C-alpha cells in the first residue's frame, strides 16, 4: 500500500525495525495526525450484534438500537447509518448478508466461539495446509452441486449431503461474519485489496487452536454452500486464509467508550493505521470515533522522532517491564526495545 500522505509524518525504513512513522517536523501536542478511514474488514461479535450499530459501531450500554433489519439481522442507530451501510455493501453485499442471516436462523443460534475455543497448541503451517486441502476437496463437491445445471447422480448427492451434515454441526457466526466481510471487500475492489491488504504484515500461524483452524475451514465450506452464486468463484481457501493472516498484526479492537473500556465488541483491520510501531511510552494517542481511528500527538513530538502507539491499549501504564515483554512476545512475537523498556531493563 502506498503509505498515507501527511504533512506531519512520513513512513520510512528504520534500521533493524522494519518500517516506522517519522515526524517530518515538530508536532505540537494535541495535533490530529491521521484519520484511519473505515476498516477494510471487521467483525462485531455475535454477543454484541443486536446492540451495536453495524455501520458506525455505536453501542448504547447494551440498549437495543432503534433500527432493526430483521432480514439481514443488523441493527443501526439511525436511518442514515442504515443507508450508509446498504450503500457500502452494494446489492451483492446485502444479498450475501441476507443469505448468511437465513442460514444462521435456520441452523439455530450458532455456537459462541469463545466458549468452545479450548486450549491446545497453535497449528503449525503444515497442519494448516493439510486442513485447508481437505476443506477444498469437500468444497469442490459442494461447488459442483450448486453450479451444475443437470441433476446430480445418487452417489454425488449422497456425498454432498454428508458434507452438508458434517459442516452443519458446528457454526461460528463470528468467523462467518468476519470472512464474509473480507470477501465482500475483495469483491468490491480487487485493486484496493491488492494495494491495501496484500501488503500488510501477515501471520503464518494465525489460528490460535486446532478448534479455531477447524472452525475457519468449516466456515469456508458453509459460505461455499450458502452465498449467492456470483460470489462463489471468489470464495477460496487462499482468500479466507489471507483475511485471517492479516488480522493478528494489524487489527484494532473495537471497544465501547475509551480504550480502557471493558466492552470488547469486535475488531477490524485498518490498513492506513498499520504503519505505527509500538512503544510502551507512546507519543500518540488513538481514539475510535465512529468507524474511524484518530491518531493524535499525546505530547510535543520533535522532527525526526518516531511516532508510536501502544499495542497494549493503555494497560502498559501499570505493567512492569517483565509483564510488558511477555505480553508483547506472546501476542505480537517481538522483544520490545522501546525507550522505556531500555531504561527499565534489569541489569
Positions touching Zn ion (CB under 5 A) are 53, 55-56, 58, 77, 81, 280, 336, 338, 341
Report, in Å, the least distance between residue 324 CB and Zn ion: 6
Of residues 81 and 179, the one with the C-beta less far from Zn ion: 81
Of residues 243 and 280, the one with the C-beta less far from Zn ion: 280
Of residues 300 and 343, the one with the C-beta less far from Zn ion: 343
Handedness of CA 139, 141, 145, 147 (dihedral sign): positive
**SS3 for 217-262, per residue?**
HHHHHHHHHHCCHHHHHHCCHHHHHHHHHCHHHHEEEEECCCCCCC
Q: Cell numbers 465450506 label which residue?
A: 221
Report, in Å, the least distance between residue 339 CB and Zn ion: 8
Report, in Å, the least distance between residue 301 CB and Zn ion: 18
Helix or strand holding residue 67 (H, E):
strand 67-69
User: What are the angstrom distances between the C-alpha of 64 and each of 154, 305, 311?
Assistant: 48, 45, 31
At residue 316, φ and ψ (nearest 5 deg) are -60, -25
What is the rounded distance in angstroms from the CA atom of residue 244 to the CA atom of residue 254? Answer: 17
Of residues 80 and 148, the one with the C-beta less far from Zn ion: 80
Query: What is the b/e burial string over 252-268, where b = at least 16 CB atoms within 10 angstroms of the residue's CB?
Result: bebbbeeeeeeeebbbb
What is the rounded distance in angstroms from the CA atom of residue 117 to the CA atom of residue 104? Answer: 19
Report, in Å, the least distance between residue 85 CB and Zn ion: 8
What is the rounded distance in angstroms from the CA atom of residue 329 to the CA atom of residue 280? Answer: 13
Report, in Å, the least distance between residue 341 CB and Zn ion: 3
List, as own/partner pairs, every contact residues 320-329 make where C-beta atoms lie below 8 angstroms and the sequence separation is at least 24, other chains included: 320/344, 321/345, 321/346, 324/280, 328/278
Of residues 21 and 81, the one with the C-beta less far from Zn ion: 81
Of residues 50 and 146, the one with the C-beta less far from Zn ion: 50
Of residues 86 and 141, the one with the C-beta less far from Zn ion: 86
What is the rounded distance in angstroms from the CA atom of residue 205 to the CA atom of residue 124? Answer: 6
Which grid cell is 207? Answer: 489460528
Report, in Å, the least distance between residue 338 CB and Zn ion: 3
- The count of other CB atoms within 10 Å of the CB of residue 205 is 16
Report, in Å, the least distance between residue 113 CB and Zn ion: 25
Of residues 225 and 256, the one with the C-beta less far from Zn ion: 256
Report, in Å, the least distance between residue 311 CB and Zn ion: 10
Amino acid at each position: 500500500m502506498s503509505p498515507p500522505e501527511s504533512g506531519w509524518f512520513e513512513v520510512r525504513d528504520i534500521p533493524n525495525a522494519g518500517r516506522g512513522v517519522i515526524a517530518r517536523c515538530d508536532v505540537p501536542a494535541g495535533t490530529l495526525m491521521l484519520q484511519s478511514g473505515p476498516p477494510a474488514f471487521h467483525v462485531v461479535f455475535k454477543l454484541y450484534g443486536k446492540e451495536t450499530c453495524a455501520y458506525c459501531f455505536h453501542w448504547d450500554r447494551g440498549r437495543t438500537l432503534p433500527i432493526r433489519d430483521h432480514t439481514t439481522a443488523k441493527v443501526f442507530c439511525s436511518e442514515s447509518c442504515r443507508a450508509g451501510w446498504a450503500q457500502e455493501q452494494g446489492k451483492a453485499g446485502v444479498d450475501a448478508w441476507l443469505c448468511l442471516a437465513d442460514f444462521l436462523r435456520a441452523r439455530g443460534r450458532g455456537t459462541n466461539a469463545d466458549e468452545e475455543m479450548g486450549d491446545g497448541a497453535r497449528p503449525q503451517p503444515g497442519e494448516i495446509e493439510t486442513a485447508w486441502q481437505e476443506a477444498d476437496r469437500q468444497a469442490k463437491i459442494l461447488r459442483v452441486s450448486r453450479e451444475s445445471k443437470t441433476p446430480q447422480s445418487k452417489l454425488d448427492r449422497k456425498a454432498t449431503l454428508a458434507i452438508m451434515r458434517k459442516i452443519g454441526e458446528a457454526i461460528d457466526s463470528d468467523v462467518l461474519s468476519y470472512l464474509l466481510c473480507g470477501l465482500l471487500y475483495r469483491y468490491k475492489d480487487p485493486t484496493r485489496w491488492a494495494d491495501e491488504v496484500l501488503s500488510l504484515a501477515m501471520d503464518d500461524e494465525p489460528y490460535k487452536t486446532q478448534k479455531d483452524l477447524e472452525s475457519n475451514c468449516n466456515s469456508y465450506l458453509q459460505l461455499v454452500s450458502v452465498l449467492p452464486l456470483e460470489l462463489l468463484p471468489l470464495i477460496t481457501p487462499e482468500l479466507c486464509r489471507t483475511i485471517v493472516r492479516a488480522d493478528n498484526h494489524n487489527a484494532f479492537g473495537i471497544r465501547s467508550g475509551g480504550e480502557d473500556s471493558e466492552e470488547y465488541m469486535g475488531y477490524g483491520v485498518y490498513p492506513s493505521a498499520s504503519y505505527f510501531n509500538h512503544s510502551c511510552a507512546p507519543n500518540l494517542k488513538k481514539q475510535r470515533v465512529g468507524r474511524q481511528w484518530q491518531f493524535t500527538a499525546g505530547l510535543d513530538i520533535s522532527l525526526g522522532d518516531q511516532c508510536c502507539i501502544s499495542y497494549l491499549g493503555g494497560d502498559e501504564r501499570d505493567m512492569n517491564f517483565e509483564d510488558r515483554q511477555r505480553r508483547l512476545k506472546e501476542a505480537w512475537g517481538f522483544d520490545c526495545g522501546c525507550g522505556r523498556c531500555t531504561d527499565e531493563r534489569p541489569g
